[in-house]
Amino acid sequence: MSQHAATPSDYLRQFAVIIGAIAGPLGSAWPGLAGTGRTISEQSDASDTWLVPLGLAFSIWGPIFIGLACYAVLHALPSRRTMEIHRRTGWWAALGMVLSGVWAIAASYLPVETSHWVTPFILTALALSACLAMVRLSRAWSELGGAERWAAWLPLSLFAGWTSLAMFINWEQAFIGPLDMGVPHIATSLLLLAAAVGFVAWNLVRCGGNRAYIVPPIWGLALLVMARLQGDPRIETLAIAAAVGLLLVALADWGARRRT
């Protein structure tokens, strides 16, 4: 733990993390609470993208939001104010959490066509921020005490894992809609699925493996397999590709941990 005196930036960072932990669940719940806009489940049901898994997949946001709330409480403690690992990760975690609320509001209230090309950019910035915080925490694993491992590393790993997959699901809607370049839909879906698996594997290499990080992608890919097997037989190829991707993610984690 750092012995340096707290700076205004430390206090501001703690406040930003608290705001972020509130922004995500509030942004997601607001359409349902206010009776306006489109809820996440309505967005999923109305989507014509092929990478969207079964609706059950999105229930993972519940544990993620609970975990991020625990992280915000830990991060707000005076004893964590000057801790170097929180200084290195807190701002990125706060940015990712705030952007999750921004994404939810944009997806719910922007006109549908506008939402299809705006939200992927928001989610990309969100995922990159969350992954940077996760990687830095993972690399500092030996420095972390039990509280940091359970209330910082774990929830941020789950957050980064889910958004790593969701980012590419979101881009599919853009590439078959406003950014359509004439590529067949199945090719677009397969390329984005491959990119998602590659992105997850790259992060695993960067952090030396992370079993918590791979849980959300495996969860999402498993439910994508189930979704595609229940649908149009012409796109059952995606079910096979998603199953292969699931295995590759698990192998990437195993390989990354063996290297460390």
Amino acid found at 112: V
Per-residue pLDDT, 179: 83
Per-residue pLDDT, 14: 99
Average the pLDDT over 185-209 and give the result: 97
pLDDT tens across 27-77, in order? 999 988 888 888 766 666 556 789 999 989 999 999 999 999 999 999 999
233: pLDDT strictly greater than 80: no
pLDDT tens across 96-138, in order? 999 999 999 999 999 988 999 999 999 999 999 999 999 999 9
255: pLDDT strictly greater than 50: yes
Is 0.85 surpassed by the pTM of this model?
Answer: yes
Report the C-alpha gap between 232 and 236 in whole angstroms: 7
Q: Which residue has the higher pLDDT, 143 or 234?
A: 143
Residue 16 is encoded by which pair of tokens?
Answer: 């930003």
Per-residue pLDDT, 41: 62
Name the nearest CA neighbour of 165 among 251, 242, 260. Answer: 242
pLDDT tens across 140-174, in order? 999 999 999 999 999 999 999 999 999 999 999 99
Average the pLDDT over 238-251 and give the result: 97
Report the C-alpha gap between 157 and 97 in whole angstroms: 13
Mean pLDDT score of the chain: 94
Q: Above pLDDT 70, what percent of the chain?
A: 94
Average the pLDDT over 70-94 and give the result: 98
